Amino acid sequence: MTTTLYTSDHEWLAIDGDIATVGITDYAQSQLGDVVFVELPKVGRALKKAEAAAVVESVKAASDVYAPVTGEVLEVNEAVVAEPALVNSDAGGKAWFFKIRIADKSELGGLMDEAAYKAHTA
């Protein structure tokens, strides 16, 4: 079963066992506007929680995407690099950014569920 959690920096994590798929929320993409460029971390890169992991650029601004947990990057979504506009059309689905092996599950404790995230962005 997959659990989805959210960060205060507007990343989502779909957690399945010790693997988290990470992307930015629909709220984040709506704030950015039309996404024109996405830069993803290298597979095998070790990330620390809160470290800048990826970059999203829109016509309005560039924004860092932070690692929501400590771990190793297992896979990146080349489709979103090839077609950055996927972030605008399907931020919570096809436009995931990377998959990370969670090094320390206790780091998930500070994240929000959907209801808490909705309250955070209200």
CA-based max dimension of the chain: 37
Average pLDDT of the chain to the nearest whole number: 96
Question: Average pLDDT in the 10-23 region?
Answer: 97
Does the pLDDT of residue 99 top 90, yes or no?
yes
- With 90 as the cut, is the pLDDT of residue 1 above it? no
Q: Which pair of tokens denotes residue 51? A: 């470290």
**pLDDT tens across 79-91, in order?**
999 999 999 999 9
Q: What topology is assigned to 3-103 in CATH?
A: OB fold (Dihydrolipoamide Acetyltransferase, E2P) (2.40.50)
pLDDT digits (tens, 9 = 90+) for 33-91: 999 999 999 999 999 999 999 999 999 999 999 999 999 999 999 999 999 999 999 99
Starting at the earlier edge strand, list the strands of the sheet with 52-58.
35-39, 52-58, 62-66
Q: What is the pairing mode between strands 35-39 and 11-16?
A: unpaired
The stretch 102-112 carries a mean pLDDT of 96
Tokens of 37: 């460029």
Q: Give residue for tokens 């950055």.
A: 84
Domain boundaries, the chain: 3-103
Q: Is 90 exceeded by the pLDDT of residue 105?
A: yes
Tokens 């931020």 belong to which residue? Answer: 91
Query: For residues 58 and 116, what is the distance between their CA atoms, to the nearest angstrom?
Result: 27
